[in-house]
């Protein structure tokens, strides 16, 4: 029996005319969010034979996740999603894959996690995290394939920094809850709308118990409802019920595994294509020629926006054009915020670095790590670590440049 | 659309001095989720109005309820609801694409 088995478990995909398994096995992909779409994407990439995955998710597994997040089981409820996902993927789908997991919010993971990957997959469930990943992708010039779902709808957006529109182009309006969250007056003043009573109730809950309410706790929901109805009564609004509060405050968008599977299937496929484009020169000569031909004849392309509607069964694609004045990927922003990598001898002094990077103005230059001044005569290794980012400012003008320090080996 | 729908805000950049004057042009809203023979509706909109007003016109054209968040795309740009329509260089018979907005779950 074993003699009849193909030599590789990737045999069927290797038979594709445009394929290089080695490119996939050498690749590293960061998956931000391991929920409904993220766990599907992680599973797909593991089965494809990806070399390394970095999984980031600060959330814990909830009972209501189990209808669609196939990496998790009932006994995992309460555990960290990223940790369980790592274990399950290695156990069930690919024991050879390297996986690093970060059970933390995206803003707190080391920046090298973003820097060392080839592609970033955005599978998060909120506007602010999505904007953060977008800014990182643009700053590090890494392709980002972002996905989102809501009930019967799914969308996938391909961000090729400075070539296609990013997620901040044309100032997308943040969802209502983000707008309310960023308006502190809503929390302290009189509720201008009925929904504000729910927000004030959440604020009261947080200050009274110093924690977030638990979706699964009947007691927490009752307390919240009482707080909200106290305001509703005082300001002449109709009362809330617990189900309504749950939707208003905890933003549980409706989710279907079928929509998640289609959306993350599209996302995984586009990640694969983006990877092939990134590593185009690694293909064998003939394969590269074939790929170039397909690209030239528009038979290989990554649309910048896919929208899937499960209600009509349609997948529509759109080409999104960058906004020249975008605050994240617009040229003026790029010029002022891009970090330039500079290789330095860690035993040298900052003076040498200033002379190297600002040859004509080195005497009028000061360096900062965050808000800490870097002394001209200081030894670099005493103040900085490999990969640190510093700012050089001119003492005579407004110019600033940003450097990423790379230690010479 | 009536005169009272025209919003004059002198602080909005890019507004022409005569933007308080209503100037109706015909645009074509396209909802790609509908079958090809039914997915375009023509509508007159005030080019000196805001994108928000155009979104409402699109809702009206396709009977899309207010609770469904939608956005308009024009030549690959997502139109910002608070911007003035004239800042996008929309001309007669322009196609404005309707897409679902604020899909955010993961």
* Average pLDDT of the residues in B10-26: 60
Rounded CA-CA distance A128/A130 in Å is: 5
Angle, helix A194-209 to helix A242-250, in steps of 10 degrees: 80
Structure confidence by residue, pLDDT tens digits, A326-361: 888 987 777 767 778 899 999 999 999 988 887 777
Residue A161 has pLDDT above 80, yes or no: yes
Nearest by Cα to A240 from A211, A278, A199: A199
Q: A320 and B34 in contact by Cβ < 8 A?
A: no
Report, as residue numbers or ranges, the catalytic residues of A: 185
Average pLDDT score, chain A = 88
Supply the pLDDT for residue A251: 60
CA distance B101 to chain A (A): 9
Report whether pLDDT(B6) > 50. no
pLDDT of res. A245: 80
Least Cα distance to A39 among A324, A287, A263, A326 occurs for A263
Q: What angle do CA A130, A131, A134 make, to 5 degrees?
A: 90
Q: Are the CB atoms for A303 and A40 separated by under 8 Å?
A: no
Query: Pick the residue with more confidence: A297 or A253?
Result: A297
Q: Average pLDDT over chain B, rounded to whole?
A: 82
Task: State how far the Cα of B22 lies from the Cα of B40, in Å rounded to an integer.
Answer: 24
Asked if residues A121 and A57 have their Cβ atoms less than 8 Å apart, the reply is no
> Which range among A194-208, A252-266, A325-339 shows the weakest confidence by mean pLDDT?
A325-339
Confirm whether the ipTM is greater than 0.85.
no
Ramachandran category for residue A259: left, alpha or beta (phi over 0 → left; psi -120 to 50 → alpha): alpha
Residue of A nearest to B79 (CA): A170
What percent of chain A shows pLDDT beyond 90?
55
> Residue A283 in 3-state DSSP?
coil
- Helix, strand, coil percentages (3-state) for chain B, rounded to 5, are 20, 30, 55
Q: What is the pLDDT of residues A350-392, one digit of tens each?
A: 999 988 887 777 788 889 887 788 998 999 999 988 888 888 8
For residue A305, the distance in angstroms to the closest alpha carbon of chain B comes to 10
CA-based nearest residue in chain B for residue A321: B76
- A124 to chain B: closest CA residue: B106
Chain B residues within 8 A of A158 when measuring between CB atoms: none
A362 or A295, which is more confident? Answer: A295
Query: What interhelical angle do A36-48 and A81-88 show, nearest 10?
Result: 30
Q: What is the pLDDT of residues A6-57, one digit of tens each?
A: 788 999 999 998 899 999 999 999 999 999 999 999 999 999 999 999 999 9
pLDDT value of residue A173: 67
pLDDT at B17 over 90: no
- Give the closest-approach CA distance of A150 to chain B in angstroms: 5
Task: Give residue ranges of B with CB < 8 Å to any A CB.
Answer: 32-34, 71, 73, 75-81, 97, 99-106
Strands, E assignment, A301-379: 305-309, 314-318, 339-344, 365-369, 372-374
pLDDT of A188 over the 80 cut: no
Confidence grade of residue B18 (pLDDT, cut at 50, 70, 90):
very low
Q: Tell me what the mean pLDDT of segment A249-277 comes to.
A: 91
Whether the predicted pLDDT of B64 surpasses 60? yes
Interface A–B counts its CB contacts (< 8 A) at 85
């Amino acid at each position: 029996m074993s003699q009849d088995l193909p030599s590789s478990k990737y045999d069927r995909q290797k038979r594709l005319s445009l394929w290089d398994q080695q490119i996939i096995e050498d690749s590293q992909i960061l998956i931000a969010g391991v929920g409904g779409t993220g766990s599907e994407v992680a599973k797909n990439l593991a089965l494809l034979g990806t070399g390394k995955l970095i999984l980031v998710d600060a959330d814990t597994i909830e009972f209501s996740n189990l209808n669609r997040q196939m990496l998790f089981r009932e006994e995992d409820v309460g555990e960290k999603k990223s940790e369980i996902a790592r274990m399950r993927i290695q156990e069930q789908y690919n024991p050879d894959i390297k996986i690093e997991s970060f059970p933390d919010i995206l803003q707190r993971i080391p920046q090298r996690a973003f820097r060392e990957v080839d592609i970033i997959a955005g599978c998060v469930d909120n506007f602010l995290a999505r904007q953060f990943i977008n800014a990182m992708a643009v700053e590090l010039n890494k392709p980002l394939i972002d996905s989102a779902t809501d009930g019967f709808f799914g969308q996938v957006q391909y961000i090729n920094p400075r070539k296609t529109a990013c997620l901040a182009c044309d100032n997308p309006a943040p969802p209502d809850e983000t707008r309310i969250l960023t308006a502190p007056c809503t929390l302290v003043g009189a509720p201008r709308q009925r929904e504000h009573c729910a927000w004030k109730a959440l604020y009261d809950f947080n200050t009274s118990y110093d924690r977030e309410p638990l979706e699964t706790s009947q007691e927490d929901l009752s307390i919240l409802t009482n707080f909200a109805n106290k305001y509703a009564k005082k300001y002449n609004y109709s009362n809330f019920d617990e189900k309504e509060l749950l939707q208003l405050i905890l933003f549980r968008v409706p989710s279907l595994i079928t929509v998640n599977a289609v959306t993350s299937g599209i996302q995984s496929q586009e990640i694969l294509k983006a990877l092939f484009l990134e590593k185009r020169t690694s293909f064998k000569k003939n394969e590269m020629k074939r790929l170039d031909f397909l690209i030239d004849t528009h038979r290989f392309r990554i649309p910048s926006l896919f929208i899937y509607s499960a209600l009509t069964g349609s997948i529509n694609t759109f080409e999104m054009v960058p906004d020249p004045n975008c605050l994240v990927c617009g040229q003026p922003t790029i010029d002022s915020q891009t970090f330039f990598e500079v290789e330095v001898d860690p035993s040298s002094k900052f003076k040498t670095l200033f002379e190297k990077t600002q040859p004509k103005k080195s005497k009028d230059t000061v360096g900062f790590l965050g808000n800490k001044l870097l002394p001209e005569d200081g030894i670099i290794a005493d103040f900085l670590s490999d990969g640190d980012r510093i700012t050089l400012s001119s003492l005579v003008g407004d110019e600033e440049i940003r450097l990423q320090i790379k230690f010479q080996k | 659309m009536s005169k009272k729908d025209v919003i004059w805000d002198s602080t909005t950049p890019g507004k022409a001095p005569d933007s308080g004057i209503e100037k109706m042009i015909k645009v074509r809203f396209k909802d790609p989720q509908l079958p090809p023979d039914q997915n375009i509706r023509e509508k007159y909109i005030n080019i000196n109005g805001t994108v928000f007003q155009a979104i409402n016109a699109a809702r009206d054209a396709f009977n899309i309820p207010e609770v469904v968040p939608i956005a308009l795309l024009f030549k690959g740009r997502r139109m910002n609801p608070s911007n003035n329509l004239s800042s996008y260089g929309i001309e007669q018979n322009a196609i404005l694409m309707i897409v679902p907005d604020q899909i955010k779950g993961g």
